[in-house]
Amino acid sequence: MAKGKNSLDIVNGPLLQNMFVFAVPLMFSQLLQILFNAADTIVVGKFAGESALAAVGATGSIVFLLVSIFNGLSTGSNVVIARYIGLGEHKKIEEAVHTSIFIGVAGGILLTVLGISLAPTLLRMMNTPEAIIASSTLYMRIYYSGVIFLLVYNFGSAVLRSKGDTRRPLMFLMLSGIVNILLNLFTVIVLHMAVAGVAIATVASEALSAFLVCYTLMKEDDATRLEWHKVRPTGSVILNIMRIGIPAGISGAVFSLSNAVIQSSINSFNDTSIVAGNSIGANIEGFVYIGMFAFSQATITFTSQCVGANRLDRIKPIVIYTFILSCISAALLGNGVYLFGPKLLGLYTNEASVIEVGMVRTRWVARLLVLNGIMDIFINSLRGMGYSTVPTVVMLAGICGVRLTWVWTVFPILKTLESIYWCYPVSWTVTSIIEFLIWLWAYRKVCVKKEAVA
């Protein structure tokens, strides 16, 4: 496929330079998403009160749990399209693009039905305090009424990212985020809609971002051009997307499930200050994840294209560069967030008890997110090489298994907030070690295949 003005020569170009060209817009995209999410939380916390803040925060793990499978499938689309680009198979690229958009639309319809109907049941299963369950249910139902826009945007941006274009998704997020903030201020402060106002603003901004990414794809001049009459699943392509995407989605679901159990344990204190403090602490962690996310996405896209083009000599340098850059980013931002934690948390709320809880989470989770970054690099390199099932199985044991065991054994004994958060660094460490060993095995196997073909 000819390289357009928005595409990168990932296969033959300078690795480190192209990584920064790819990753920097992703960092800003992630920063904007976090800032806009923070704006949601700040507006609710400052102008609607602690209960409204807790109500929105209590839904986070459930929202991610239901969406995670389709986020994994968008990762599968990224890998498959990047592989076809490396191979130069125009017809397959076209089929993969339209299959991806079909999955986004169909998945959005399915999640809308599930999210609206299951909201109160899921919230009660998580021991959500009765004082906020009505508001949390309202938020989830409004959010899921527009979740189709989120999925269409995710699959559309995966198409752009597969050819190295991270600049235009950044612009879309910037525009939609501004709309989100303005609508938050209007619906919460002017109309006094509290939780409902935040949910409506989120849906409206996601609708805008979905429109922008679809409009852009419709104007492309290469095989990634979107034509709505061609939007349908192609058997061989959807199987390839599912082969990578379903294990990746299960990995995301594993994270979300374990986080839902942790949220349930936090809810068991039956204290809105603790629920709210945990929510803003988790929100702050997003700032630490900026570089980790960008470099882990670079790992999967660069590896996929290079494997497709049989440039296997670039796999190891890709991992080394992204590993170092991710660790540096996470260490600097994690310690920075902890150092300025009280001031940052104070932007969300004036309640000292809520800030205190947020600092407990920041101390034990945000500062140690570098361990999560290490794990992500090896997992995404494995996915880029075509190995998605094995790292998922390890995730089941290393993340879900360790965290659930911890919450069901250690937490009941100690019964402290700190003892809940300790399960994060323990599970990241265990999983990172195992994923690294699997990566060594897979890398050697790929190199042996190359030598055998040669």
Per-residue model confidence as pLDDT tens for the chain (454 residues): 445 555 677 888 888 888 988 888 888 877 877 776 677 677 777 666 667 777 776 676 677 777 777 888 888 898 889 888 888 888 999 999 999 999 999 999 999 999 899 888 888 887 777 788 888 888 889 989 999 999 999 999 999 988 888 888 888 988 888 898 888 889 888 888 888 888 899 899 999 999 999 999 999 988 899 999 999 988 888 898 888 888 878 777 777 777 778 888 888 888 888 888 888 898 888 889 888 989 998 998 899 888 888 888 899 999 999 999 999 999 999 999 999 999 989 888 888 998 999 999 999 999 999 999 999 999 999 988 988 888 888 887 888 889 989 999 999 999 899 999 999 999 999 999 999 999 999 998 887 665 554 4
* Whole-Å CA distances, 189 to 51, 137, 192, 345, 408: 16, 21, 5, 21, 42
Give residue 117's identity as a one-letter amino acid code. Answer: S
Domains of the chain by residue range:
15-448
CA dist 251 → 227, 228, 314, 401, 403 (Å):
32, 31, 26, 12, 14
CA angle 383, 75, 235 (to 5 degrees): 95
CA angle 248, 319, 174 (to 5 degrees): 65
State the pTM of this model: 0.71
Question: What integer pLDDT is reported at residue 268 of this predicted model?
Answer: 84
User: Following DSSP, what letter does each residue of 246-306 receive, concatenated?
Assistant: HHHHHHHHHHHHHHHHHHHHHHTT--HHHHHHHHHHHHHHHHHHHHHHHHHHHHHHHHHHH
Q: In this structure, which amino acid lies at residue 436?
A: F
Give the span between the Cα atoms of 399 and 429, in whole angstroms. 10
pLDDT confidence of residue 453: 47
Cα(271)–Cα(54) distance, integer angstroms: 10
